[in-house]
Amino acid sequence: MLARALLLCAALACPFLFAAANPCCSNPCQNRGVCMSAGFERYKCDCTRTGFYGENCTTPEFLTWIKRSLKPTPNTVHYILTHFKGVWTIVNKIPFLRNAIMKYVLTSRSHLIESPPTYNVHYGYKSWEAFSNLSYYTRALPPVANDCPTPMGVKGKKELPDSKDVVEKVLLRRKFIPDPQGTNMMFTFFAQHFTHQFFKTDHKRGPAFTKGLGHGVDLNHVYGETLDRQHKLRLFKDGKLKYQIIDGEMYPPTVAETQVSMIYPPHVPEHLRFAVGQELFGMVPGLMMYATIWLREHNRVCDVLRQEHPEWDDEQLFQTSRLILIGETIKIVIEDYVQHLSGYNFKLKFDPELLFSQQFQYQNRIASEFNTLYHWHPLLPDSFLINDQEYSYQQFLYNNSILLEHGLTGFVESFSRQIAGRVAGGRNVPPAVQKVAQASIDQSRQMKYQSFNEYRKRFLLRPYQSFEELTGEKDMAAELEALYGDIDAMELYPALLVEKPRPDAIFGETMVELGAPFSLKGLMGNPICSPEYWKPSTFGGEVGLEIINSASLQSLICNTVKGCPLTAFNVQDTPHPKSVTINASSSHSRLDDLNPTVLIKERSSEL
């Protein structure tokens, strides 16, 4: 009877008898080796194509040993790229050197991301379900097994600390800490706006699931996730999206005009319920600012293409304009957004042809860890300053009247001057979003993430040996040790926010070394970057390709915002120059050409 009971309990994974039954709980396989159980007490490491061998994949092959011996640490590489400005100025001017370095940056980063995808929250082993079910976020590391003795495998306490205690003791802002790189609010809202096209968690099903039909840069936050939503937003004339003119400027149409579902509280008046691709973008005017900018850019590009191709119908104008805007987005993200975050003196370059000779898969799946690490709440200020007026969070939320009052010009000028907070270093999450940070920790636990050090090893970083080494100071280190007990039990998300920043940088080492591979693989894995797509005919000829190749944050603003205010992703204090060169692909949809006395409200029949 006892033997039968033990067998039954084993089948049910009884925690009190088989708490340590899974031999893979201790993560014995190193260097990306795959652990496979072999009975209840034994395991086997699959070291195939890791460059290592041995029982735990710890012995390097000869070529691996050579590469490891010669390869500098990530912090050394970062130091070289962020110093020696004179040398990099020369390198940036020599095309073959710049191309060779950029090619290495792209391949070395993107090769760290597995393609096709491997795991999800319910499958810690290869399965067709984990590969084919697009409703899941994929995973960089499998979840901690249910039969492990601690939440992090075998290390740490039996229970994780209360997430509220973690936030209050080491994450919550005492005093605003500005970003030493000078990151501004233009960056903050761009980050939030851009990522909402692929970070679309399905909270009804749980944090491991996405509502997104795509897993990359497809601009569904501009055009809508579904065909029905897209059709409601389209004008069905000249390829354009619906719009309205208010005080001579183009803004999104209203919910009443489009019947598009948006999330607005009951108190928001009908004329301020703007309708755009992403239902959440009415939440803050900073998001609606970018939604308006991309609406204007789409309609401008349609005018350019219509002049070039008077024979094209509405559908071809719309579809080609969307491809061009995807290209513009990727170029701006790499050459402005990532360039700013990196702090590199080396000038990053968007050039899909650099990868044409490589084995590169033009597909992407969003990983839940990428979604989690992108919760950069410390970027947010204590209040928002627009044209010298201060707005609290309560005043800012769901208040599109602020956007109309100050206009896009006032927003761009003001957000270009207002500094954002530093993300790394701890204790800089605004109290206004404290519950959001706490939810990030709780959701990470639901997804059973492995420890912070396991993620460091997965991305070829040396694991930290102590909390003090993680934080670079003693006070928070002591708090963390009391909370977690063991550095190998430290959770991913809070660790990313308390990690010591790189010198004069917004992030710590791990945020960059984990985030960059996900980012670059997602950008360069876009279909438009493939050899079959990356040619003039895809974009309506040389004129469309030139719109992409000349795109920048500044040109986007100049083509869509009155007065072409000076902007960047770092704080701008310089007076606006009177003469500014803008994208040569201008059109009659430029704001300066609009008749301020005409209110246009064009509709199309719904399909």
Catalytic residue check, 196: yes
Please return the burial class of 472, using the count of CB atoms within 10 Å of its CB with bins 0-12, 13-18 and 19+: middle
Closest CA to 218 of 94, 66, 330: 330
How far are the Cα atoms of 106, 233, 273, 516, 603 from residue 243, in angstroms, in the given order? Answer: 38, 9, 13, 36, 9
125 is catalytic: no
Number of H helices, E strands in the chain: 25, 8
Strand partners, 262: none
What phi and psi values does residue 271 have, to the nearest 5 degrees?
A: -70, -10
Rounded distance between C-alpha atoms, residue 218 and residue 326, angstroms: 6
Query: Is the Cβ–Cβ distance between 512 and 181 less than 8 Å?
Result: no
Rg, C-alpha atoms of the chain: 25
Q: Which residue has the tokens 């340590």?
A: 20
Handedness of CA 130, 134, 135, 141 (dihedral sign): positive
Count of C-beta atoms within a 10 Å radius of residue 165: 13
Q: Which of 53, 79, 374, 533 is catalytic?
A: 374
Dihedral in degrees, nearest 10, Cα atoms 178, 183, 187, 192: -40
Do 256 and 270 meet the contact criterion of CB atoms below 8 Å apart?
yes
What length does the chain have? 607
Quote the CA–CA distance of 193 and 170 in Å, as a whole number.
27
Structure tokens, 145: 């097994």
Query: Please, which residues bridge with residue 501 across strands?
Result: 508
d(CA 124, CA 141): 8
Q: What is the DSSP string of 205-217?
A: T-TTBB--S-SS-
- Distance from C-alpha of 216 to C-alpha of 525, rounded to nearest angstrom: 8
Query: Tokens 């994929």 belong to which residue?
Result: 138
Residues contacting residue 522 through CB under 8 Å, at least 6 positions apart: 198, 215, 216, 217, 364, 366, 370
CA–CA dist 96, 540 (Å, integer): 29
Q: Which of 193, 196, 298, 375 is catalytic?
A: 196
E runs forming strands in 41-87? 43-46, 52-53, 59-60
Strand 43-46 to 34-37 pairing: antiparallel
3-state DSSP assignment of residue 235: coil
Report the catalytic residues. 196, 374
